[in-house]
Amino acid sequence: MAGTGLLVIGDVVTDVVALHGGSARSGLAVGTDTAADIVLRPGGSGANTASWAAWLGADARILTRAGFDTADWHAAELRRFGVRPHLRVDPDRPTAVVIAMVDVTGERSMLTNRGAGGHIGTGDWDETLLDGVGHLHLSGYTLFAEPGLHLSRLAMAEASLRGVSISVDPASTGFLRSFGVERFVQETLPAQLVIPNLDEALLLTGETTAERAAESLSLRYGAAAVKLGSRGALMAREGKLAARVPALTTEVVDSIGAGDAFAAGLLTALLSGATDEVALDAGRRAGAEAVTVLGGRPRVLPSDLGTRELYPLNAN
């Protein structure tokens, strides 16, 4: 019998976040200096999702792979938010690093070195990781290297045998194109829920609207929750639109981690038995809070965890 815990399989990353005064059009100054506020933050799509889920009240665990250089720091940062880290240390490689350049609109451009994260594989798996787990969530980045692809197949197969539900976040249009769109869908069909952003949803389906893309994906997976950024989010089930919520108005500081926070809010609510509309609302609230923070994790301290409500943002 499945439990109530959430197991995330995904990346942990050292984020170097540079907030500069340019825009997507003007870009960075070439051949000279551009002033920026630069911070170092723990990140990674999978680790962000697990951290937000724990912050929202879920029994969140993560299976991830970090490098010899910063593994202890990343494990401690995950525990700060109540995550149970199953962190495998790579003795030969550093932790993945992302340099994120964030413009005045909150939009970001990223340079990525997957480091140890690109080598997570079946050797890191233990079937006891599913003990007490009711839902398995896969970051799409895991599938984009061969060892992680084999791990994903194994984890989904064992989750299915245990009656554990599965979701997947496609993660990146660039990696999706390189991996192969139809190949990605075929590899992740054991999942009952896919959580793409709009660009990913359109790429995965070839459709031209969010609604049709969500409906198409829900015919393949069973359910699709599409993140629409400033337009909110929508959910489709079995080929039909099931729920939709508008975005919340908030000041955008940094969009890093907003989609990860959305997934955490959505999954935490669904695990508690919420309806699709309530789950979408929980997702958008977590995403709205995420964009007010520099970096991809919640702003709270561990001492705050016990006092947080499941859906912490105000409705207005």
Residues in a beta bridge with 194: 168, 224
Nearest to 116 by CA among 77, 68, 74: 68
Q: State which H helix or E strand residue 241 sits in.
A: strand 240-245
pLDDT bucket at 26, cuts 50 / 70 / 90: low
Q: Give the mean pLDDT of the chain.
A: 89
Fold of 5-12+44-93+115-300: UDP-N-acetylmuramoyl-L-alanine:D-glutamate ligase (3.40.1190)
Quick: pLDDT tens for 77-116.
999 999 999 999 999 999 999 887 877 766 667 788 889 9
Domain boundaries, the chain: 5-12+44-93+115-300
Quick: pLDDT tens for 253-278.
777 789 999 999 999 999 999 999 99
Q: What angle do CA 228, 264, 2 make, to 5 degrees?
A: 130
Neighbour order of strands in the sheet with 223-227: 84-90, 60-67, 5-9, 133-139, 165-169, 193-194, 223-227, 233-237, 240-245
Q: CA quadruple 49, 52, 54, 58: dihedral positive or negative? A: negative
| Largest Cα–Cα separation, the chain | 60
Nearest to 192 by CA among 162, 216, 170, 160: 160
